[in-house]
Amino acid sequence: MSANVKANITHVIFDMDGLLLDTEKIYEQVYRGLIEKYGKTYPFELKVNCMGRKASEAAKVIIDHLSLPISIEEWLEVSQKAVLEKFADAKLLPGVDKLIRHLHKHAIPIAVATGSSSTNLKVKATHHGEFFSLFHHILCSGDDPEVKRGKPNPDIFQIAASRFNGETPSPEKVLVFEDSFLGVEAAKAAGMHCVMVPDTRLDRKYTKSATVVLDSIEDLCLTDWGLPSFTDT
């Protein structure tokens, strides 16, 4: 982390897929399999432009880009069935459990803001119910009626910030954790700080809007954000 980062964070918002849970691999595997049925490939650059989007928006991006002979509705039906079969085995990513429990213990308000649907969240959380209960709220923009525009628009983070108890925190007091390029752009558009933990394959040109880029959440320095360190009791 660069030494010039100074922030006094009061609220923290987490992305879910590829950030809290190791589910991006599942989406990639299923989408690739579906695309290959049409004799096409799923380039990583295309995945970058889908990560963080609502499923319906990602489907449109893929179908349009690859000119697939399938409707958005068909894509969603087939892919949804395939991902659901795998989500129950989703694991937390390294450092996540320790960080969330630490922030919760220190009464730092935390939330999840995901492009996922609440149906998918239920399955992804099959073995992590107690973990997800530590969050003040979970916003699933896949089917949340208030979030009209998905990432990279700022709406999801602005609405998530407005749902904490009391006054909505000002954006510079909010820290967002993201793995996706579009999610980082959304946080930046909302005027919030963003820690990015990207896929190792991601070109660094996609990380420029992040306040800080980390290889792992385990590398986070809490005190740079004005948050209690792990040694604080």
CB of 116 to Mg ion, least distance (A): 9
Taking the complex as a whole, how short is the minimal distance between the CB of residue 20 and Mg ion, in angstroms?
Answer: 9
Give the nearer residue to Mg ion in terms of CB position, either 36 or 89: 89
| CB 223 to Mg ion: min, Å | 26
- 8 Å CB contact between 126 and 86: no
CB-nearer residue toward Mg ion: 21 or 70: 21
- For the bound state, the minimum distance from the C-beta of residue 233 to Mg ion, rounded and expressed in Å, comes to 32
Question: Could you give the CA distance from residue 108 to residue 125 in angstroms, rounded to a whole number?
Answer: 22
- Told to judge if 97 belongs to the known catalytic residues of this protein, a careful annotator would answer no
Task: Assess whether 179 carries a catalytic annotation.
Answer: no
State the residues that interact with Mg ion by CB under 5 A: 15, 17-19, 179-180
- Report how far apart, in Å, the C-alpha atoms of 130 and of each of 42, 60, 122, 134 are: 35, 35, 12, 7
Alpha carbons 70 and 38: distance in angstroms, whole number:
10
**Residue whose CB is less far from Mg ion, 103 or 187:** 187
Q: What is the DSSP annotation of 59-110?
A: HHHHHHHHT-SS-HHHHHHHHHHHHHHHHTT--BPTTHHHHHHHHHHTT--E
> In 3D, which of 173, 143, 172 has the Cα closest to residue 156?
143
Q: Which residue is nearest to Mg ion (CB)?
A: 18
Classify 111 as helix, strand or coil. Answer: strand
**Active site residue ranges:** 15, 17
